[in-house]
Amino acid sequence: MAGEILKAKQVLKIGQRMEFYLEGSDERYTSRIEDIQRDSLVVDMPLNKKRVPIIPAARERLYGLAVGDKCRYRFFSTFQKTGNLEGRIPVWYITVPDTVERHQNRQFVRVRANLPIRVRLVDKEGKIGEPIETRMIDISGSGVSFVLSKEIPTGIQAGIEIDNLPGIGTLDVMCDVARCNRVMLDEERSVYHVGVKFKHLSRAVTNTIVRYTFTVQRLAIAKGITEP
């Protein structure tokens, strides 16, 4: 099931194909697991497009994807050092994650996030509305949901601005409005939950949002809270 959190030792295997992204980078590097040690995951040293070895900075954060039969498992790790396995295979030594998150295709886990957000709606004629101060409901690597007091049409665009997003600071991005659902607060009062999808978000920023949602989900699971 997409979004499922699993123990890393149940998933990661020697010989498994891997993909890595470095902190703040959009470039994907391929590798595979050569060995699993007590404190380290040993993987083939990735090469760039010019076949030059990639050597991260000490303790640089890594976004990893382990390739399974029908899905991928993503996790975050930290670079430790380079080395030569058995004296001949150039490798990275990285920290072994405690858990991995299962996902399929381009699905992202959505977690609750009660953060302030500014929204500017763009109508079908391209007119940009005044900023609306409201609250987020949830966030994922592909979009956010927030509360509005009125119904809006799907298919229009919206500019959103979120301050103090962990690892990013201010996120300012255009989005497509994908849904707008009425939610009753009581017998008379209602609000609208609006879901939007990010447009033109870089891989580096997406990875940072995914890491944030992954951390929130792990903390929720540790506290016995199940996210919807």
162 vs 168: CA distance, rounded Å: 10
Domains 5-103 and 111-222 equal at CATH topology level: no
Tokens representing residue 179 in the block: 């849904």
Q: Going by CATH, does the domain composed of 5-103 fall within 2.30.110.10?
A: yes
Tokens representing residue 125 in the block: 């004629």
The answer to whether 97 and 77 are in contact (CB under 8 A) is yes
Residue type, 161: E
Domain ranges of the chain: 5-103, 111-222
* Residue 171 Cα to chain centre, angstroms: 14
Residue 95: its pLDDT value, please? 95
How do strand 143-148 and strand 116-122 relate by DSSP bridges? Answer: unpaired
Tokens representing residue 56 in the block: 């991260």
pTM over 0.85: no
Q: Going by CATH, does the domain composed of 111-222 fall within 2.40.10.220?
A: yes
pLDDT tens-digit series, residues 90-133 = 999 999 998 888 765 445 667 888 899 999 999 888 899 999 99
43 vs 32: CA distance, rounded Å: 5
Residue 9: phi and psi, rounded to 5, are: -65, -15
- Please state the rounded mean pLDDT for residues 12-35: 88
How far is the first Cα of the chain from the last one, in angstroms, to the nearest whole number?
Answer: 14
Tokens representing residue 182 in the block: 């009425």
| Residues belonging to the chain | 228
List the single range of 9-18, 70-79, 163-172, 218-227 with lowest mean pLDDT.
Answer: 218-227
Q: How many CA atoms lie within 13 A of 101 on its CB side?
A: 25
The answer to whether 41 and 145 are in contact (CB under 8 A) is no
- Please state the rounded mean pLDDT for residues 36-61: 92
